């Protein structure tokens, strides 16, 4: 059996994702679509609108055959680490092609990555220019070297996937196949297409609590019902932020500075700004906390690391211990997993044990417990322990 790989967040799953899955199978001739999907938190450092189990169910309904969880250590990271973790897992799972959406699918992302690799490694601007974000400096260097600027989010991720393929020495094993993104743009909040709305637009509708009927053109009936109920967790900018305030205000700055990425004086800035603005709302605080050196997403991720009390050593250990956590599979997907079983060289987790929660799943288990704490309705099942993969026919 052949398999095509897809990297996703599905926050939430919609018709554009179903189109992507169908095109991936059609263009590659693969029998199985293997998805590596972010867990309960997404790359921007905020909770997913639905937990990983609900999103897995929607993905299987929409055409995925296998859904593995992208561990927290990779999922809540900048593009290069997000991509490296996901590409590595898909390669270990046994796929030979990774299909991804791109705003400019005609680009040869692997060729660009090869051109830029040595230049980016040798350029000192990344370490000396703190007046601009990494992405801005990166694009200046890339444009100088190749004549291309990658400003669109899916193009940037495509470049990150290509770079990961090179860094992991997988160029002879993994083919990258971009497909043209159709319908709404990634961050577009306006709905201009009759069948495809961006995840951003759907999340915007969720905040307005519109009826299930409003979603039916863009998602399945199962998804429409979930979306009409609004996000699964309490509001990040209020309930989650209050927990963060307590954490920061009651923790000595010396301890805060040991949190992953709260370095280079950022811990002192965080403590100072939050102490000075105890009555400020989240938006006001973030506006004052942000600087030209850091993007909003970078700081949001750092605040989540702070809330979860993740230390540098813990994160490094997690990054060095990849594993495949199965969330769900179709009948075809289960046949593929059985076929590949002898070839998988990293741990595979189907049932989470106590040993897992204190070992390779430490960060995911901790993140799951935080997500459970912030769910609006009483938790019926834990995010990890006691759960088994979702199997469909």
Residue 16, marked binder: yes
Looking at the structure of the chain, the number of domains it has is: 2
Known binding residue 147? Answer is: no
**Residue 250 has what pLDDT?**
97
Give residue 124's pLDDT band: very low, low, confident or very high (50, 70, 90).
low
Q: Was 7 annotated as part of a binding site? A: yes
Which of helix, strand or coil describes residue 311?
A: strand
The residue out of 272, 292, 315 marking a domain boundary is 315
343 found inside a domain: no
The reply to whether 14 sits in an annotated binding site is yes
> Is 333 marked as a binding-site residue?
no
Among 227, 252, 271, identify where a domain stops: 227
Mean pLDDT to the nearest integer, 26-46? 97
pLDDT digits (tens, 9 = 90+) for 332-353: 999 999 999 999 999 999 999 9
pLDDT value of position 58: 98
283 and 167, same structural domain? no
Output the CA angle 195-196-201, nearest 5 degrees.
125
Q: 182 labelled as ligand-binding?
A: yes
Helix (H) or strand (E) holding 27: helix 15-28
12 annotated ligand binder: yes
Residue-wise pLDDT for 8-35, tens only, equals 999 999 999 999 999 999 999 999 999 9
Q: Is 8 annotated as a binding residue?
A: yes
Question: Residue 242 annotated as binding?
Answer: no
If asked whether residues 189 and 283 sit together in one domain, one would say no
pLDDT tens, 289-344?
A: 998 888 899 999 999 999 999 999 999 999 999 999 999 999 999 999 999 999 99
- φ/ψ of residue 176, rounded to 5: -100, 130
Does 99 lie in the same domain as 242?
no
pLDDT digits (tens, 9 = 90+) for 198-255: 899 999 999 888 899 999 999 999 999 999 999 999 999 999 999 999 999 999 999 9
Residue ranges making up the domain that contains 25: 3-107+148-227
Domain shared by 210 and 295, yes or no? no
Query: Is residue 280 part of an annotated ligand binding site?
Result: no
Q: Would the pLDDT of 157 be above 80?
A: yes
d(CA 135, CA 121): 15
Ligand-binding annotation for 10, yes or no, is yes
Question: Do 244 and 165 fall into the same domain?
Answer: no
Q: Which of 166-170, 257-261, 276-280, 368-372 shows the lowest per-residue confidence on average (mean pLDDT)? A: 276-280
E strands, the chain, are: 3-8, 32-38, 66-70, 97-102, 175-180, 324-329, 348-349, 390-391
pLDDT at 185 over 60: no
* Residue 162 counted as domain residue: yes
Q: Does 137 or 226 have the greater pLDDT score?
A: 226
Residue 213 labeled ligand binder? no
Is 154 labelled a binding residue?
yes
SS3 119: helix
């Amino acid at each position: 059996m052949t398999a095509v790989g897809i990297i996703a967040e599905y926050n939430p799953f919609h018709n554009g994702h179903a189109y992507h899955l169908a095109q991936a199978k059609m263009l590659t001739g693969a029998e199985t679509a293997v998805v590596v999907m972010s867990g309960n938190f997404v790359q921007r450092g905020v909770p997913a609108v639905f937990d990983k189990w609900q999103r897995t169910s929607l993905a299987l309904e929409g055409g995925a055959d296998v859904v593995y969880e992208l561990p927290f250590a990779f999922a809540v990271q900048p593009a290069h680490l997000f991509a490296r973790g996901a590409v590595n897992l898909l390669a270990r799972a046994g796929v030979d092609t990774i299909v991804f959406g791109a705003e400019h699918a005609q680009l040869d992302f692997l060729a660009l990555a090869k051109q830029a690799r040595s230049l980016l490694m040798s350029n000192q601007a990344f370490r000396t220019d703190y007046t601009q974000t990494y992405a801005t400096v990166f694009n200046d260097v890339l444009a100088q070297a190749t004549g291309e600027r990658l400003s669109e989010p899916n193009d940037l991720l495509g470049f990150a996937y290509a770079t990961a393929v090179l860094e992991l020495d997988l160029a002879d094993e993994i083919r990258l196949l971009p497909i043209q993104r159709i319908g709404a743009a990634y961050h577009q909040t306006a709905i201009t297409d009759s069948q495809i709305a961006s995840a951003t637009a759907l999340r915007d509708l969720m905040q307005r609590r519109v009826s299930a009927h409003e979603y039916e053109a863009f998602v399945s009936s199962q998804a429409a019902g979930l979306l009409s109920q609004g996000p699964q967790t309490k509001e990040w900018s209020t309930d989650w932020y209050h927990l963060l305030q307590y954490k920061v205000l009651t923790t000595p700055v010396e301890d805060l500075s040991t949190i992953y990425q709260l370095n280079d004086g950022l811990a002192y800035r965080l403590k100072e700004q939050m102490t000075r603005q105890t009555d400020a709302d989240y938006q006001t605080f973030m506006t004052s906390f942000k600087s030209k050196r850091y993007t909003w997403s970078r700081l949001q991720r750092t605040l989540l690391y702070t809330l979860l009390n993740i230390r540098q050593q813990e994160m490094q250990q997690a990054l060095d211990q990849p594993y495949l956590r199965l969330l769900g599979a179709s009948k075809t997907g289960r046949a593929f997993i059985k076929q590949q079983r002898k070839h998988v060289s990293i741990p595979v987790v189907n049932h989470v044990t106590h040993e897992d929660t204190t070992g390779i799943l430490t960060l995911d288990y901790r993140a799951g417990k935080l997500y459970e704490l912030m769910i609006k309705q009483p938790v019926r099942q834990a995010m990890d322990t006691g759960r088994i993969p979702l199997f469909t026919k």
